[in-house]
Amino acid sequence: MFFDSPEYMKYKILIFESIHKVLKAEKILLKNNIKHEIVPTPKEITSDCGMSIRINPEIVNLQDITTMLLNNKFEFKVSDKEIV
């Protein structure tokens, strides 16, 4: 797990249509050494897929990830999530 346990953390959830697309996106992130985690999609976020990719925007650049995934023809949504 690459996230430490601070008292408060904001992160981004990348939401895909299926676990197959989550895993394909993960391959691209791994190939580019981008830190991330596959996590269950939070209950408050509606999605057909039960898994999502979580990134910490303080560690990785969300715009770079978005560009990389869009260039590889991925469709996804980005949602904010906070841990208190």
User: pLDDT (tens digit, 9 = 90+) per residue, 39-83?
Assistant: 999 888 876 789 999 999 999 999 999 999 999 999 999 999 887
Task: With respect to residue 3, please indicate whether it lies within any of the assigned structural domains.
Answer: no
Phi, psi (5° rounding) for residue 31?
-60, -30
What pLDDT, on a 0 to 100 scale, did the predictor assign at position 44? 85
What's the domain count of the chain?
A: 1
Task: Assign residue 44 the CATH number of its domain.
Answer: 3.30.70.120
Angle at 51 between CA 18 and CA 8, to 5 degrees: 145
Task: With respect to residue 23, please indicate whether it lies within any of the assigned structural domains.
Answer: yes
- Residue 41 belongs to domain spanning: 9-83
Task: With respect to residue 2, please indicate whether it lies within any of the assigned structural domains.
Answer: no
* Per-residue pLDDT at 1 exceeds 50: no
Task: With respect to residue 61, please indicate whether it lies within any of the assigned structural domains.
Answer: yes
pTM: 0.85
